[in-house]
Amino acid sequence: MSRGALAIGIAVALGACGGQSSDITIAYRGDVAAVRQLVRVTLDTGARARTVTPAFPSAAHPEPIATRGALPIRVVLLSGIDTIARYSAPPLSLEPNTSYVVSVIVSLRRPVETPCTGRWSATPIVPKGAPSRDPTTGSLYVSIAQHARGEQPDCEE
């Protein structure tokens, strides 16, 4: 095999592998100043689990993830050491060449679906010791959207 053919073969192999990678972004949307540090997003389980504090969309950045398998995602809202809202998403079926965005909002009203967020799931916020859900405390809203890498809409808010 000539050096030129070997170089082309390596370039094709690297291009095929590099083009299949996937990533995930964890982002807050809406007014988050008061609660950003109280939300934890946990990706995966067991020894592979990692906890992320969501960043506002302008500061959020994609992180590499696997291109196959299942990725469990759990979101909790804390009040001191107490968990006052918890959402566990169905495990995400990972695919090659895909960008995922986990969006989080704490709000009194359900956010509007957009191409950036998709459908929102709601979990009521119930402070420790509260007898029942108080509508003035709002809900934890989580959405998970996916797009082909490089084709996601502009999602800055």
Count Cβ atoms within 10 A of the Cβ of residue 130 and give its class: 0-12 exposed, 13-18 middle, 19 or more buried: exposed
Q: What per-residue confidence (pLDDT) applies to 156?
A: 58
Q: Please indicate, yes or no, whether the overall pTM of this predicted structure exceeds 0.85.
A: no
User: For the chain, how far is it from start to end, CA to CA, in angstroms?
Assistant: 53
What residue ranges of the chain have pLDDT lower than 50?
A: 1-17
Return d(Cα 94, Cα 113) in angstroms, integer.
Answer: 22
Q: What per-residue confidence (pLDDT) applies to 4?
A: 40
